[in-house]
Structure 1
Amino acid sequence: MKQSTYLKASLRELKQSKGRFLSIMLIIFLGVFLFVGVKAAAPSLQYSANQQLSHQQLADIQLISTAGLTKKDEKILNKMTDVLVEPGYILYYADTKKNQVFELLSYNQEDQLNQLSLVAGHLPKAADELVLDAKAQKAGYQLGDRLTIDLTDDLKQKNYRIVGFVQSPLFVANSERGSAPVGNGSVDYFVYLPEENFKADVYSALYLQDRQLADLPVYSKDYQKKVEKRVKQLKKALQPRSFERLNEIKSKAQQPIEQAKAKLAIAKQQLTNAQQQLTQASEQLKQQQAQVQLLPEGVQKQAATEQITTNLAQLAQQQQALTQQQAELQANEQTLAAQQSKIAALKAPKYLFYTKDENAGVKSYIDLTTQIDGIANVFPVFFFFIAALITFSTMTRMVEENRREIGILKALGYSKLAISKKYVLYASLATIIGIVLGTIAGSNSLPLVINLFLKSTYIFNHLHLTYDWLAVIQATIACFFASLGAVLIVLVQELHAKPASLLLPKAPKPGKRILLEYIQPIWSKLSFNQKVSYRNIFRYKSRMIMAIIGIAGCTGLMVAGVGLKNSLESVIDRQFGPIVHYQGLVALNDSEKQSFQEVDQILADNKKVHETTQVYLQPLEVKHADEASQSVPLLVFNSQKAQRSFLTLNRLNTTQALDLPQDGVIITQPLAKSMQLAKGDSLTLTNSEGQDFSVKVSAEANYYVGNYLITSKQFYQKHFAKSYQPNALLLKTQTMSKKQEKQLSKALLATNKVSNVTLITGQIHLQKQMTENLDIIVIIFVVLSGMLALVVLYNLTNINISERIRELSTIKVLGFFNREVTMYIVRENIIFTVLGILVGYGIGYILTGFILNQVAMNQVVFPIVIKPLAYLLAGGMTILFTVIVMMITHFRLQRINMIDALKSNE
């Protein structure tokens, strides 16, 4: 009976304090919602992407050779265990009328790898059918349209009918389709044609699937390690094949030359025979001429002389023709000799390996989800800490408020365990409901919202929701510690007290003079109410600290949310203009002067290009200590003047200009961060021929996007033992439209001297897209931080009122107006809010830096940039919530029952 009565009293307590119960539950809900939801976002997105890539059987490795691939290459790969190998053809076609570039890939319905996903129509069934990039459907292409691909040397037919629109796992990002060696240099759409249309006798690529990697997600470190191991095996297996392939190419190229040489030998022999016959005929004529000279003058001698003269003239003409033929044969001999020299100079073909995680679209998606995960490791944790702190404070205050009830129950004979049940039940119920609702809502909504914004950017349409159980467990432990832990800590304290002591109210803290009282010029000008407020603030220091921490935390979270967006956006402004002064990079096929002359002429004729400089660019494999190796381009300038005109290099975190080094290389900031490098460290550089070079880091340069090794012409020639031969151009241009950029790229690529044209606008576009993809994360953080700030302010004000209910009733009895009573509390809140905002600004700055450190990538680092608007927004929202809470407080104070409050201790 006693237990039943106590249980009813407990439920009545829950009903009477439902506002506090709901606020505790809401704080826990918000904390768990964000913490678990954001922690579940990256795993859900990554798992979903991996499922789709596995379903479409994206190849683990794509093999390309500079000399094409043959059935022998395929046979070598097929000998390996647990691999599936499929060949493919790749071509590029530029439609000059539409100024569009298509990447043509072979389709074989029996192939298992790189499965296409149909968006509309059906897959090719006849030789004259093709499927087109789903992106093209949005651009106006329709099923049944005819597409002309005029590549008569490479394809068996040129007219095709569009029968379907597809998505390919080779093209994950919807905005980018890669570069092309034709047209404007940029692929607009991909096309799949039936394999039988391709005429080539060598494959363009071999796609390999490693069955040992089937159960490993592409974004895992285990996958990366094992796929690297497989690539090493492939390189080792194909190493002898490289020289064998070189001999095959030489032998094939030599055959027509040998045939031409045989024909040339026959022609030379014929020419020699003709020359001998001509010489004999000439000698006979000379003998006849001598005999005619012995004849007496007359008609017979004259006729004979004329005939011989005619014959000699004919022989001279024949001799001239033979001489011309002899010159032609010599020229042909020289041409054949030059061709033989070129064949002899041929180098062994290179095999290039591209793993699944290096696919441009897959990599950008992994980078994005990794950034989200990095944010989830910082922002929600801090958010959750603030929520837990306020929960702890609220539950502590709840138990302290009921000390008289605890004293009565102890006096009536209730055990400590029985008394504790009510508070444990209260705390557990609020905590469990908050955790369950927060986990379900967070895990099922935040990943969906984030994925909704990413659908337009990537082909991953189906989200498989997953629960991050580790995050759920962590949140559960933290929540129970904050709520139940607070209850138990206070209960242990209170339950050890005597009932008589508990039945008496706690003695109020003694009043003390505060520092402000000693500053008489200020203190004397304050009103009575103001003096009371300042005394109360410092009288209850724990309440002041808790309020400031709570408000500062929420303000800091909002500052960090907007600051994160500001910092991500600032990369473009910090990189392109202050550091990078060029707008384009043109890579040439060779270092010959004639190539530069042709390209220079095109650039000189383009009015938008106003300055160029020649540089040397070479990709190198960089190794340092135990860090993973990276492919980094070496950029060599001809002079200090050229470098400073096109690239500003300042020492890291300073404005001190760097000179081109004579004793090492300058490294950019992302490379220094990702490989843990500093001035004086040694690097091992490996070129494409397998040669290793050891160099020292001369300095670290301010740089935000991209990894580079930068050095001088003198150091390059001395250390690499090679003459400086530029193979690329940096361009300074005026602002160009997309059409003008495409026209410039098209003109350069049409020379066949240019291998690639890279324009800075492409990098800027990718950076903006990455920032836009994270916008939804920022919005979620700011909105939830604002909601937490509102709940925190309400809860702290609620605690303040409940602690001082007798004090407030007393001043009401003394005749204070409602507005004055409200200001008695609100005045303190205003001070706490102002101090909390100021402290929050500092917390926001530190938190932003910490988050940016987590989301930095191998190729990008982010500066801490927080614009004034971020501070204004965070401060403004906090003030707005303070006003809202002030209004709620005002109406609540009007409903205080003064008599009940004043006799509450009786």
Structure 2
Amino acid sequence: MLRTMRKDNVRTVRYSLLRFLSITIMVFLSVAFFIGLKFAGPSMLYTAENFANNYNMPDGKVMYPGGITEEILKDIEHKSSIKVLGIHSTDVNSPTVGQSIHLYANENQLGDMFSVKLGQLPSGSMEIALDIQVKESYPELEIGDFVEIENIDSNVFEIPKAKVGQYKIVGFIESPLYLSNLDRGIQMDGQGSVAAFGLVSSGHIDCSEYSEAFYWAPEMKVFGHFSDDYDQALRDKVTDIDKNLGDIAETLHNQVIEQQLKDISEQQVELELALSRRLISQEDVHEKETALKQMSQALEAYPMAQFQHTSRLDFSGYRLLKNNAMKMDEISKVFPVFFFLLSIVVTFITMTRMAQDEQKYIGTMKQMGYSNYHVMEKFIFYAFSSVSIGIILGIVVGTLVIPGLVINAYMTLHPLSEPRVQLDGMFIAIVSIASLIIALIPAVITPLKLVRKPAIELLQENLEGSSKSSRSQKSSRLNYICLWVSRSIRMAPTRSLLIILALAASVMLMVAGFGLSDSLTGTVARQFNEITHYTSIIYVDSNGSQSDYSKAMDQIEHLEGSFPVSLTQAEVKSGTNQGLKFQILVPMGEEEGLVNMLELIDDEKRAISIEEGIIATPVLGQSGESIEVTLNDLDYALEVDAIAQNYVGNYLYMSPETYSDSIDQKPMYNAFLVKYDMKHKDQIEEDMLAVAGIKSIMNLEQLKETAEESMESLNMITIILIIASAGLTFIILLNLMNIILMENYRELAIMKTLGLFDCQVSWLIFLEAFILATIGIAIGSYLGQQLNLYIVNLLSRDDLVFHPEIDTMSYVYSIILAYLFILVVSLLVHNNVRKINKVEAMKDTN
């Protein structure tokens, strides 16, 4: 008998396959997205950590204006207990690609820090391996082609010279030194940004001392890369290294002073000796004494050169990568949780309805003498099997598919090599057990309530509502339909409320997904259509004449305008944005010229004048706040007077007068904002690079394209969320209509007996679903707007701020999808309506 009963349990799955699959799919979606998005952030960092380990990513680097000798290297290594590697590097221009390149010499095992994507590392004369992003920007460049290299003249300090000429491209590379594809750092003299990096053979950079040194701290190895413990330990180590570097810099300074004093003393002795022997005239004596006095005075004011120390925390893309992973982790706390909660609600409703539908089965089994356990076994088996299949499928997709999709999406922003998923067995077990419990609770509670009743009571008909039905039969058809729908909703208020909430939540996720896509794509358009009107930034030698540069640019055909500015990189010293790098932009011409290139507007789109004081972009602070910044190794406290909207990058804007008052020095022009039509880009940039003194060009079109690629990466995630939300809505509607059908099965059979056509009966079910769905859609649309606002603020990061917006069409798409699903599900349910047996009507007491 038990064997027959268990066969019937399996047969139940086949007879109610739609219900079984709906539970399975619900659990599959919730588990897959809960696990997948939860593992995406840690897996991103795990992949990056593997990349950093494979290519020996250093903990930091040190630079010194006069160069780093072997003696200085040993001193740093000994005092700070770190391993140090000296390297030769410099900044150069490449007219071939119109970009500045940070060039490394392939020596001292430096090549171990570079991953070869195409070709090989340089080994012969005049060979170069270029940044893979150069290949992305200039796809026409191939291995075997040549790029021209020119040296840069710095007016800050002398930087090493590279062999100039045509270099043969032998490979394309990437490195953990540059974890952001959007940022390649700044030039060694701080006078502009670097667009790419490259590696040349040993001996192609001419300098006797090392230009920079990478270091590794042994105590850092016990911490995982990108962990908070690593960051804190490195900050502590940086403090110790900075102190030691300060001592070394002071020692070097004293050595220079001592040598200069010795030279002055020797010259003084020679002068006195020549004077005593009457070998020099009084006029020459006076001239030499004046020169020695000036040398002594200059020596007293001789500035102490400082080491430039950059830890891994300040490497290109380190903060960005970690922030992206954290944002992904934050998203995993929002969307998957809603999926999971919806899974609870829908599974609970479905299993509760199933138990109520099987009331007669329970009564019959009890009457036949089966124990309560054997009676409940059917429901437990049904719930356990459907949920188990969903859990297994969810774990497979959540571990093998979703994290990989997310990491691949972020590869446009970060060089992450092959995706590696970091799994947490305990978390998977907890999610699996929780899913099983969620499904088994209604599979146990509702049948348990029923099996405790006498069998005779379970086998009796429910007479509730018969008088209302008989009265409604006397009404007109329209009134009857309205009364039937309202009665159906009133008779199951809890079920109706839960379904409304479930639909509202699924529509909310759909609206938020579409809105997130709108916010991401709208950000780039707002930045480059409403705020930034210039096409490129031209970095120039500030020793040249500003008027000469302007005249030269006026002669360039198709150039629509140029405007001189001072662009200086600074860093936030303290507070929540500590370590954040930004640009200080000072207009060096009339404000009218600036407005043509850049619009400073507040959040209400009111124009802001540069004369209003210190104007900051939103990430840096709020109006009235004081920001502590570090500029050229000096600290300043700057009070913000106004906030200008900006979505890509961070800036402080101020007039030359405000800059002089705040920084205690006059701004020095070093760049021009220029505007031109992109169809003339190649010719214009070639003409500009031919102008003497122009160092490099940063084309904002490339920045725009990179930002759009960044948006496309995040859009992949939003597409996944939209598809999952739509699938969720479909499953909920399918459950809703099937529950309405099963709850009113007898009444629908009576209606068919009384002459209603199948389509009219289906219309009753559709109408109730339509009413509940409309309420849920209205609530979900509002909640989706709020969820979108929350997520957009969550996703905004240091260098990219998103503007929360939802296009009207996004609401339309969400609503159309919801109603389209109602229509599709209605067609599926109509097939079940056609199978309603009219004989069932004869069994009803009405």
TM-score by length of 2: 0.84
Q: Report deviation, 1:140.
A: 5.6
Which whole-Å deviations, capped at 9, do the CAs of 1:303-344 have from their partners, x for residues lacking one? xxxxxxxxxxxxxxxxxxxxxxx99x9999999999998777
Structure 1 residues 589 and 264, CA, compared in 2 at 3 Å: closer, same or farther?
Answer: farther
Confirm or deny: 8 A CA contact 1:580 1:646 kept in the other structure. yes
CA distance in 1, matches of 2:736, 2:342: 13
Corresponding position of 1:78:
77
2:196 maps to 1:240: no
Structure 1 residues 180 and 712, CA, compared in 2 at 3 Å: closer, same or farther?
Answer: closer
CA distance in 1, matches of 2:279, 2:771: 113
Structure 1 residues 620 and 131, CA, compared in 2 at 3 Å: closer, same or farther?
Answer: closer
CA distance in 2, matches of 1:251, 1:526: 106
Corresponding position of 1:201:
208
CA distance in 2, matches of 1:103, 1:87: 16
Structure 1 residues 718 and 825, CA, compared in 2 at 3 Å: closer, same or farther?
Answer: same
Which whole-Å deviations, capped at 9, do the CAs of 1:677-698 have from their partners, x for residues lacking one? x5555544455444454x5555
Confirm or deny: 8 A CA contact 1:670 1:860 kept in the other structure. no
The code of the aligned residue for 2:493 comes to K
Confirm or deny: 8 A CA contact 1:88 1:205 kept in the other structure. yes
Corresponding position of 1:882:
822
Between Structure 1 and Structure 2, how many residues are aligned?
Answer: 829
CA distance in 2, matches of 1:692, 1:131: 41
Q: Secondary structure at the match of 1:863?
A: coil
2:758 maps to 1:818: yes
Structure 1 residues 659 and 474, CA, compared in 2 at 3 Å: closer, same or farther?
Answer: farther
Corresponding position of 2:155:
none
2:125 maps to 1:104: no
Confirm or deny: 8 A CA contact 1:623 1:630 kept in the other structure. no
CA distance in 1, matches of 2:181, 2:590: 41
Q: Report deviation, 1:409.
A: 3.4
**Among residues 697, 706, 731, which one is paired with 2:649 in the alignment?**
706
Corresponding position of 2:234:
227
Confirm or deny: 8 A CA contact 1:404 1:502 kept in the other structure. yes
Q: Report deviation, 1:7.
A: 3.2
2:445 maps to 1:489: yes
**Among residues 454, 462, 465, which one is paired with 2:418 in the alignment?**
462
Q: Report deviation, 1:6.
A: 3.9
Q: Secondary structure at the match of 2:67?
A: coil
Corresponding position of 1:846:
786
Confirm or deny: 8 A CA contact 1:396 1:487 kept in the other structure. yes
Corresponding position of 2:217:
210
CA distance in 2, matches of 1:350, 1:549: 63
**Among residues 747, 768, 775, which one is paired with 1:828 in the alignment?**
768
CA distance in 1, matches of 2:555, 2:278: 50
Which whole-Å deviations, capped at 9, do the CAs of 1:80-116 have from their partners, x for residues lacking one? 56622111111344444665655421112x5278533
**Aligned counterparts, 1:410-425, within 5 A:** 410-425=366-381
Q: Secondary structure at the match of 1:169?
A: coil
Q: Report deviation, 1:57.
A: 0.5
Q: Report deviation, 1:610.
A: 3.1
CA distance in 2, matches of 1:794, 1:670: 45
**Aligned counterparts, 1:74-153, within 5 A:** 74-80=73-79, 83-96=82-95, 99=98, 102-108=101-107, 110-111=108-109, 114-119=112-117, 122-124=120-122, 131-134=129-132, 139=139
CA distance in 2, matches of 1:175, 1:705: 11
The code of the aligned residue for 1:116 comes to F
Q: Secondary structure at the match of 2:421?
A: coil
Corresponding position of 1:746:
689
Structure 1 residues 821 and 435, CA, compared in 2 at 3 Å: closer, same or farther?
Answer: same
Cα RMSD, aligned residues only: 4.5
**Aligned counterparts, 1:417-566, within 5 A:** 417-455=373-411, 458-469=414-425, 471-473=427-429, 475-509=431-465, 526=478, 528-566=480-518
Q: Report deviation, 1:438.
A: 0.5
The code of the aligned residue for 1:746 comes to L
CA distance in 2, matches of 1:761, 1:362: 24
Q: Report deviation, 1:352.
A: 2.3
**Aligned counterparts, 1:232-381, within 5 A:** 232-246=239-253, 346-381=302-337
Structure 1 residues 900 and 261, CA, compared in 2 at 3 Å: closer, same or farther?
Answer: farther
The code of the aligned residue for 2:497 comes to I
Higher mean C-alpha deviation, range 475-484 or range 388-397: 475-484
CA distance in 2, matches of 1:136, 1:627: 31
CA distance in 1, matches of 2:525, 2:140: 35
Q: Secondary structure at the match of 1:779?
A: helix
Confirm or deny: 8 A CA contact 2:616 2:643 kept in the other structure. yes
Unaligned runs of 5+ in 1: 277-325, 518-522, 673-677
CA distance in 2, matches of 1:199, 1:701: 45
Q: Report deviation, 1:897.
A: 2.2
CA distance in 2, matches of 1:616, 1:105: 26
Corresponding position of 1:769:
709
CA distance in 2, matches of 1:701, 1:163: 45
Q: Secondary structure at the match of 1:79?
A: helix
Q: Report deviation, 1:395.
A: 0.9
CA distance in 2, matches of 1:525, 1:211: 84
Confirm or deny: 8 A CA contact 1:114 1:168 kept in the other structure. no
Q: Report deviation, 1:28.
A: 0.6
Confirm or deny: 8 A CA contact 1:806 1:902 kept in the other structure. no
2:834 maps to 1:894: yes
CA distance in 2, matches of 1:511, 1:744: 92
**Among residues 691, 714, 733, which one is paired with 2:675 in the alignment?**
733
Corresponding position of 1:286:
none
The code of the aligned residue for 1:460 comes to L
Q: Secondary structure at the match of 1:830?
A: helix
CA distance in 1, matches of 2:186, 2:53: 26
Q: Report deviation, 1:842.
A: 1.4
The code of the aligned residue for 1:117 comes to S
2:734 maps to 1:783: no
The code of the aligned residue for 2:832 comes to R
CA distance in 2, matches of 1:161, 1:85: 31
Structure 1 residues 614 and 788, CA, compared in 2 at 3 Å: closer, same or farther?
Answer: closer
The code of the aligned residue for 1:836 comes to G
2:196 maps to 1:192: no
Structure 1 residues 338 and 596, CA, compared in 2 at 3 Å: closer, same or farther?
Answer: farther
TM-score by length of 1: 0.79
Q: Report deviation, 1:61.
A: 0.6
**Among residues 603, 612, 621, which one is paired with 2:563 in the alignment?**
612
Query: Which one has a bigger Cα radius of gyration?
Result: 1
Confirm or deny: 8 A CA contact 2:586 2:655 kept in the other structure. yes
Which whole-Å deviations, capped at 9, do the CAs of 1:827-858 have from their partners, x for residues lacking one? 22233333333332212212211211221212
Q: Secondary structure at the match of 1:204?
A: strand
Confirm or deny: 8 A CA contact 2:47 2:419 kept in the other structure. yes
**Among residues 802, 806, 809, which one is paired with 1:869 in the alignment?**
809
CA distance in 1, matches of 2:636, 2:99: 42
Q: Report deviation, 1:443.
A: 1.3
Q: Secondary structure at the match of 1:348?
A: coil
Q: Report deviation, 1:63.
A: 1.7
CA distance in 2, matches of 1:612, 1:253: 44
Q: Report deviation, 1:424.
A: 2.1
Identity of aligned residues (%): 25
Q: Report deviation, 1:54.
A: 0.8
Confirm or deny: 8 A CA contact 1:388 1:478 kept in the other structure. no
Higher mean C-alpha deviation, range 563-572 or range 552-561: 552-561
Confirm or deny: 8 A CA contact 1:682 1:696 kept in the other structure. yes
Unaligned runs of 5+ in 2: 153-159
